[in-house]
């Protein structure tokens, strides 16, 4: 942004960076159009890196920007080592990586291993030459009745996971759209080809990969074809290769699974797989807890979450480029979520809700702040979704998940400052609805307004970055007398070698829409401790000799209170 005067700190060596980082998902296509083509591009993103540095994010996650017919937002890849020309060139991509690194920002890209576009030359060769070198690159069958226990994921569009190919005269397997044939991971040549894709992008300097749709790599008769042992064996091999050839680069699993299954994607200390996994089950429960006005859904899902290996980290999020998935909640919870958050059927897609954060919460500033406070203080490295920092709206009149992929709103000017193109030529229209119109909701206006959501989010990221306890610390629920109040402690021990000071923070969240009083019970070691607000430094009533704190909180209020033990030692004494 013009006028931002920022230093260029460069990357620091920090093998644990991903455990403390705040991630930011940004679609190249949606962020900034430097060429007037109507779609965003690498150069546009480079021009906005100062903004992202100012905001305080540590790592960008870029969904696919590879050659693609764009029938699934780029998750339908037709060439793994080429970029889509409308986004720019490979040298522009490498410039983006080095410009981001110069600002201390890392870059993680998407690795879509499970499937390709049907336009990929591998598929074209496979369908036309079954005996040729690519004949066995995909999962072919004479019948469409194999793997009958595998569910259909894109239920709005697909009726089967098999589609008949008139050229090869066989059926091919696809877990997603019928234009996205699954690669055959039983074929060692496919595995090697994927290793080469990894090497190609790692050689260009990226800091890691989000592994798209990773539970579905292998298929096996009589199973639901998810989370199979062969998939884990392959991932352990992939991690070994990355550790040997690109030490320090990170793998982040997108495994939309229940906690007991998703932890397997971390692997074991002996056979590690991914350093990070998105925690899908906790996300819908944050929204559920806000409407039920109870702490239990969040407490329960975290209690059901097994411990993860040392040195690994959860990825948490409120929204992303997909629908807000409800695959990980019970049918009863799903029905309630649809009622609360998607009353219009047009708001729904597959098993989920295709709305952005601000409209989901009816633009309630208090709820938007509270849900951010939760995701920024619960265990895990949070990933923000572009535009949510200014409370961007959505457009449910667009098809599928395009509802939440509209251009970033920079200014109140033409095309929201996203592009200079004729508005009719934009890849998607900018949001111009009554409440979320880019005239009102844009970066420029919020920068000029010190109490805007944008400034608030930035301040939260600053506080979080000063307290590594949020990334590295343990998590302990504190019993509260009021079931609408969620209380927990984050604690970290001193680690002078890593520059970490001992820190304990008590996080209190009033999940209800009314003021609440509650008595919170803290562990023995904190009896008589002092409580200090992390934001303003004000003292709060001290922890009683019985280890309790009596607190009153406003509607949807939250507090982050540093706990100083009474003994003058650390909270771990
Ligand atoms: O490449 C196909 C899809 O892969 C990801 O899908 C994930 O999102 C789905 C919902 O849209 C979800 O149901 C599934 O479990 C996930 O693997 C990717 O994020 C999608 O954009 C993409 O279409
Ligand atoms: Ca597969």
The enclosing domain of 177 has a CATH number of: 3.90.400.10
**Judgement on whether residues 105 and 145 belong to the same structural domain of the protein:** no
**Judgement on whether residues 101 and 140 belong to the same structural domain of the protein:** no
- Centre of ligand 2 from the C-alpha of residue 176, in Å: 10
As a whole number, mean pLDDT of residues 90-104 equals 98
Sequence-distant (≥ 6) Cβ neighbours of residue 299 within 8 angstroms: 477, 486
Q: Report the atom number in ligand 1 closest to the C-alpha of 254.
A: 17
**Judgement on whether residues 198 and 325 belong to the same structural domain of the protein:** yes
For the whole prediction, is pTM greater than 0.95?
yes
Edge-to-edge strands of the sheet including 162-165? 140-141, 170-173, 162-165
State the pLDDT at residue 565.
87
Residue nearest atom 7 in ligand 1 by C-alpha distance: 213
Distance of alpha carbon 237 from alpha carbon 129, whole angstroms = 30
Residue nearest atom 21 in ligand 1 by C-alpha distance: 322
Residue nearest atom 4 in ligand 1 by C-alpha distance: 213
Indicate whether 7 belongs to any domain.
no
Residue nearest atom 15 in ligand 1 by C-alpha distance: 256
Instruction: Identify which of 322, 349, 402, 404 to mutate to test ligand 1's pocket (most ligand atoms within 8 A of the CB).
Output: 322
pLDDT in tens, 558-573: 999 999 988 654 444 4
As a whole number, mean pLDDT of residues 5-27 equals 94
- What is the SS3 assignment for 385? strand
State the pLDDT at residue 44.
98
**Judgement on whether residues 450 and 393 belong to the same structural domain of the protein:** yes
Sequence-distant (≥ 6) Cβ neighbours of residue 331 within 8 angstroms: none
**Judgement on whether residues 237 and 282 belong to the same structural domain of the protein:** yes
pLDDT in tens, 272-299: 999 999 999 999 999 999 999 999 999 9
Q: Which ligand is nearest to the CA of 138?
A: 2
Do the Cβ atoms of 157 and 149 come closer than 8 Å? no
pLDDT range class, residue 2, cuts 50, 70, 90: low
- Centre of ligand 2 from the C-alpha of residue 384, in Å: 28
Residue nearest atom 10 in ligand 1 by C-alpha distance: 322
Q: Does ligand 1 come within 6 angstroms of the Cβ of 68?
A: no
Q: Report the atom number in ligand 1 closest to the C-alpha of 322.
A: 11
DSSP, res 182: B
**Judgement on whether residues 69 and 125 belong to the same structural domain of the protein:** no
- The helix (H) or strand (E) run that includes residue 117 is none
Question: Within 13 Å, how many C-alpha atoms sit on residue 466's CB side?
Answer: 10
State the pLDDT at residue 1.
63
Q: Which candidate in 76, 118, 254, 322 is catalytic?
A: 254
Residue at a domain's end among 419, 440, 464: 464
Distance of alpha carbon 281 from alpha carbon 302, whole angstroms = 9
State the pLDDT at residue 570.
47
Q: Of 122, 117, 18, 121, which is closest to residue 64 (Cα–Cα)?
A: 117
Q: Which ligand is nearest to the CA of 71?
A: 1
Distance of alpha carbon 243 from alpha carbon 248, whole angstroms = 7
Q: Of 311, 296, 371, 316, which is closest to residue 341 (Cα–Cα)?
A: 371
Distance of alpha carbon 484 from alpha carbon 500, whole angstroms = 33
pLDDT range class, residue 7, cuts 50, 70, 90: confident
**Judgement on whether residues 296 and 369 belong to the same structural domain of the protein:** yes
Q: Where are the alpha helices (DSSP H) in 84-142?
A: 90-102, 121-128
- Centre of ligand 1 from the C-alpha of residue 233, in Å: 22
Q: Is 254 marked active-site?
A: yes
- Name the pairing type of β-strands 503-510 and 558-564: antiparallel
Distance of alpha carbon 247 from alpha carbon 228, whole angstroms = 26
If you average pLDDT over every residue of the chain, what do you get?
97
pLDDT in tens, 537-555: 999 999 999 999 999 999 9
Q: Does ligand 1 come within 6 angstroms of the Cβ of 323?
A: yes
Indicate whether 9 belongs to any domain.
no
**Judgement on whether residues 512 and 364 belong to the same structural domain of the protein:** no
State the pLDDT at residue 572.
47
DSSP strands (E only) in 299-436: 313-317, 324-325, 352-353, 381-385
Indicate whether 439 belongs to any domain.
yes
Q: In degrees rounded to 5, what are phi and psi of residue 257?
A: -140, 165
Q: If 0-12 CB within 10 Å is exposed, 13-18 middle and 19+ buried, where does residue 54 land?
A: middle
Distance of alpha carbon 207 from alpha carbon 167, whole angstroms = 40
Q: Does ligand 1 come within 6 angstroms of the Cβ of 158?
A: no
Do the Cβ atoms of 63 and 76 come closer than 8 Å? no
Indicate whether 1 belongs to any domain.
no
Residue at a domain's end among 184, 204, 228: 184
Sign for the CA dihedral angle at 361, 365, 370, 373 comes to positive
Indicate whether 3 belongs to any domain.
no
**Judgement on whether residues 171 and 255 belong to the same structural domain of the protein:** no
Q: Estimate the share of the chain in helix, then strand, then coil, as percent rounded to the nearest 5.
A: 30, 20, 50
pLDDT in tens, 423-447: 999 999 999 999 999 999 999 999 9
pLDDT in tens, 100-158: 999 999 999 999 999 999 999 999 999 999 999 999 999 999 999 999 999 999 999 99
Residue 6 reports pLDDT greater than 90: no
Indicate whether 446 belongs to any domain.
yes
Indicate whether 11 belongs to any domain.
no
**Judgement on whether residues 124 and 238 belong to the same structural domain of the protein:** no
pLDDT range class, residue 448, cuts 50, 70, 90: very high
Specify the CATH number for the domain of residue 477: 2.60.40.1180
- CB-based burial, 305-322: b 16+ in 10 Å, e otherwise: beebeeebbbbbbbbbbb
**Judgement on whether residues 26 and 39 belong to the same structural domain of the protein:** yes
Q: If 0-12 CB within 10 Å is exposed, 13-18 middle and 19+ buried, where does residue 441 land?
A: buried
Q: Is 546 marked active-site?
A: no
Q: Does ligand 1 come within 6 angstroms of the Cβ of 118?
A: no
Distance of alpha carbon 48 from alpha carbon 43, whole angstroms = 9
Q: Does ligand 1 come within 6 angstroms of the Cβ of 153?
A: yes
Specify the CATH number for the domain of residue 30: 3.20.20.80
Q: Express as a percent the part of the chain with pLDDT over 70.
A: 98
User: Kindly report the CA angle at 360 between 358 and 364, in degrees rounded to 5?
Assistant: 55
Q: How many residues does the chain have?
A: 573
State the pLDDT at residue 571.
46
Q: Does ligand 1 come within 6 angstroms of the Cβ of 212?
A: yes
User: Kindly report the CA angle at 354 between 352 and 355, in degrees rounded to 5?
Assistant: 125
Q: Does ligand 1 come within 6 angstroms of the Cβ of 402?
A: no
Distance of alpha carbon 477 from alpha carbon 488, whole angstroms = 4
Quick one: angle between helices 453-466 and 365-377, nearest 10? 20
Q: Structurally, how many domains does the chain consist of? A: 3
Q: Which candidate in 33, 182, 207, 212 is catalytic?
A: 212
Distance of alpha carbon 62 from alpha carbon 43, whole angstroms = 14
Residue nearest atom 20 in ligand 1 by C-alpha distance: 322
- The helix (H) or strand (E) run that includes residue 519 is strand 516-521
Instruction: Identify which of 30, 61, 153, 261 to mutate to test ligand 1's pocket (most ligand atoms within 8 A of the CB).
Output: 153
CA distances from 79 to 29, 83, 119, 122 (A): 18, 8, 9, 9
Q: If 0-12 CB within 10 Å is exposed, 13-18 middle and 19+ buried, where does residue 500 land?
A: middle
Residue nearest atom 11 in ligand 1 by C-alpha distance: 322
Distance of alpha carbon 133 from alpha carbon 283, whole angstroms = 43
**Judgement on whether residues 30 and 133 belong to the same structural domain of the protein:** no
Distance of alpha carbon 231 from alpha carbon 382, whole angstroms = 26
Distance of alpha carbon 264 from alpha carbon 270, whole angstroms = 13
CA dihedral in degrees (298, 302, 305, 308; nearest 10)? 140
Indicate whether 503 belongs to any domain.
yes
Residue at a domain's end among 464, 494, 518: 464
Sequence-distant (≥ 6) Cβ neighbours of residue 131 within 8 angstroms: none
Q: Tell me the CA end-to-end span of the chain in Å, nearest whole number.
A: 47
**Residue ranges making up the domain that contains 292:** 17-112+187-464
């Amino acid at each position: 942004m013009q006028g931002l005067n920022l230093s260029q700190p460069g990357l620091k060596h920090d093998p644990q960076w991903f455990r403390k980082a705040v991630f930011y998902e940004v679609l190249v296509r949606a962020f900034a159009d430097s060429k007037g083509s109507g779609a965003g591009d690498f150069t546009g993103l480079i021009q906005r890196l100062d903004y992202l540095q100012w905001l305080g994010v540590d790592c960008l996650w870029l969904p696919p920007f590879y050659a693609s017919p764009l029938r699934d937002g780029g998750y339908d890849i037709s060439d793994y080592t080429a970029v889509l020309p409308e986004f720019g060139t490979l040298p522009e991509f490498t410039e983006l990586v080095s410009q981001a690194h110069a600002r201390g920002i890392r870059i993680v890209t998407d690795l879509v291993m499970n499937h390709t576009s049907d336009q990929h030359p591998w598929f074209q060769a496979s369908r036309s030459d079954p005996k040729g070198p690519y004949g066995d690159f995909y999962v072919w069958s004479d019948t469409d009745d194999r793997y009958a226990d595998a569910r259909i994921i894109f239920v709005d569009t697909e009726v089967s996971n098999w589609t008949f190919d008139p050229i090869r005269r066989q059926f091919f397997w696809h877990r997603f759209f019928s234009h996205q044939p699954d690669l055959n991971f039983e074929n060692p040549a496919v595995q090697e080809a994927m290793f080469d894709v990894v090497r190609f992008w790692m050689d260009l300097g990226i800091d890691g990969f989000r592994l798209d749709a990773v539970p579905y790599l292998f298929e096996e008769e009589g199973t639901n074809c998810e989370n199979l042992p062969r998939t884990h064996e392959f991932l352990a091999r992939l991690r070994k290769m990355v550790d040997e050839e690109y030490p320090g680069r990170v793998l982040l699993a997108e495994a939309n699974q229940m906690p007991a299954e998703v932890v397997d994607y971390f692997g074991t200390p002996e056979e590690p797989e991914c350093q990070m996994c998105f925690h899908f089950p906790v996300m819908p429960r944050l929204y559920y807890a806000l409407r039920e006005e109870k702490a239990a859904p969040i407490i329960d899902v975290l209690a059901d979450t097994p411990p993860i290996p040392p040195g690994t980290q959860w990825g948490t999020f409120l929204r992303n480029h997909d629908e807000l998935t409800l695959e990980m909640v019970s049918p009863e919870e799903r029905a309630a979520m649809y009622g609360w958050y998607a009353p219009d059927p047009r708001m729904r897609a597959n098993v989920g809700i295709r709305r952005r954060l601000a409209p989901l919460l009816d633009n309630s500033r208090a709820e938007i702040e509270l849900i951010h406070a939760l995701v920024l203080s619960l265990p895990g490295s949070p990933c923000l979704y572009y535009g949510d920092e200014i409370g961007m709206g959505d457009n449910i009149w667009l098809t599928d998940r395009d509802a939440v992929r509209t251009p970033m709103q920079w200014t109140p000017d033409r095309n929201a400052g996203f592009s200079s193109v004729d508005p009719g030529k934009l890849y998607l229209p900018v949001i111009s609805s009554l409440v979320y119109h880019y005239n009102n909701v844009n970066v420029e206006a919020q920068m000029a307004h010190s109490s805007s959501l944008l400034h608030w989010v930035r301040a939260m990221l600053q506080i979080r970055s000063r307290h590594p306890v949020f990334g590295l610390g343990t998590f302990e629920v504190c019993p509260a007398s009021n079931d609408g109040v969620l209380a927990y402690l984050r604690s970290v021990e001193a680690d002078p070698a890593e520059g970490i000071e001992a820190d304990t923070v008590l996080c209190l969240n009033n999940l209800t829409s009314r003021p609440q009083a509650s008595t919170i019970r803290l562990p023995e070691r904190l009896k008589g401790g002092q409580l200090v607000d992390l934001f303003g430094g004000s003292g709060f009533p001290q922890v009683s000799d019985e280890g309790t704190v009596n607190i009153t909180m406003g509607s949807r209020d939250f507090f982050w209170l540093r706990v100083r033990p009474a003994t003058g030692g650390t909270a771990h004494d």
